[in-house]
Amino acid sequence: MTKFLIIGLGNPGNEYAHTRHNIGFDILNTFVLKNNAFFQSARLAEVAEIKFKGKIFVCIKPTTFMNLSGRAVKHWLDKEKISIENSLTIVDDLALPLSKLRLRKRGSDAGHNGLRDIQNVLGTDEYPKLRFGIGNQYPKGMQVQFVLSRWLPEELPVVKLKIEKSIQVIEEFATIGIDRTMSDVNNLTFI
């Protein structure tokens, strides 16, 4: 069976739960629950394994804090002998509006500290990423407070829709490939 490493980025700890910055954790929690699996504490991450249509998903939520995610990603790629192109990193993105998801085969960290650390540890930016738009409606100088804030009640219906679509993206990434999945998701607008 082909293995895939699905990485949800976020910060451990209740104070970060369900914040914009932790959307990677929330997507993986929903995906794992949907598949009747559960996370266990392991080296550098909470880990769950899911079997789906002849594929194995190794899902990790790094416990290293966002800015040190690279160590966990490298450890689990090596441990599970998964090639980098069979990994998918799910991350919040300030540059995308809340109405968008963006799947890419490669790309810069775009100022995201978690992606920057992964890129530094792996020595490349050529790994697939699913970027979850969180918008950028915050006053000047308030970026950190914004990304660490919880969703507004009026945003939650769109967030739920996008979480469901993100789960579909994970499944399609492994079954029909990244190219077809990108054309399916990148032009969608969630309103």
Residue 46 β-bridge partners: 41, 61
The whole-angstrom separation of Cα 171 and Cα 178 is 10
Dihedral of the CA atoms 38, 5, 146, 29 (nearest 10)?
-20
Contacts (Cβ under 8 Å, ≥6 apart) of 32? 38, 39, 48, 50, 59
On the question of pLDDT at 8 being above 90, the answer is yes
Give me the chain's average pLDDT, please.
96
Angle at the Cα of 119 from the Cα atoms of 114 and 125, rounded to 5 degrees: 120
Q: What is the pLDDT of residue 150?
A: 96
**Span 63-75, pLDDT tens digits:** 999 999 999 999 9
Considering the domain boundaries, does residue 106 fall inside one?
yes
**Span 86-109, pLDDT tens digits:** 999 999 999 999 999 999 999 999
Residue 85 belongs to domain spanning: 2-185
Considering the domain boundaries, does residue 191 fall inside one?
no
Residue tagged active-site, from 18, 21, 75, 112: 21
Phi-psi region of 37 (alpha: psi -120 to 50; beta: other; left: phi over 0): beta
Average pLDDT over residues 127-149: 93
Q: How many domains is the chain built from?
A: 1
Task: Check: CB of residue 13 under 8 Å from CB of residue 118.
Answer: no
Instruction: Look up residue 152 and give its DSSP letter.
Output: P
On the question of pLDDT at 139 being above 90, the answer is no
Average pLDDT over residues 40-50: 98
Considering the domain boundaries, does residue 139 fall inside one?
yes
Q: What is the pLDDT of residue 25?
A: 98
Average pLDDT over residues 157-170: 98
Q: What is the pLDDT of residue 38?
A: 97
In 3D, which of 115, 158, 162, 147 has the Cα closest to residue 7? 115
Considering the domain boundaries, does residue 95 fall inside one?
yes
Q: What percentage of the chain reaches a pLDDT higher than 90?
A: 93
Q: What is the pLDDT of residue 1?
A: 87
Average pLDDT over residues 37-48: 98
Q: What is the pLDDT of residue 75?
A: 98
Q: What is the pLDDT of residue 147?
A: 93
Does residue 171 sit in helix, strand or coil? helix
The whole-angstrom separation of Cα 20 and Cα 87 is 22
Q: What is the pLDDT of residue 138?
A: 87
Q: Catalytic annotation on 18?
A: no
Considering the domain boundaries, does residue 177 fall inside one?
yes
Number of helices (H), then strands (E), in the chain = 6, 7
Average pLDDT over residues 128-142: 93
Q: What is the pLDDT of residue 137?
A: 85
Considering the domain boundaries, does residue 69 fall inside one?
yes
Give how far Cα 191 sits from Cα of 28, 40, 99, 124, 158, Å: 22, 35, 6, 34, 6
| CATH code of the domain containing 123 | 3.40.50.1470
Give how far Cα 85 sits from Cα of 81, 99, 119, 133, 177, Å: 12, 26, 14, 22, 11
On the question of pLDDT at 191 being above 90, the answer is no
In 3D, which of 17, 168, 172, 3 has the Cα closest to residue 76? 3
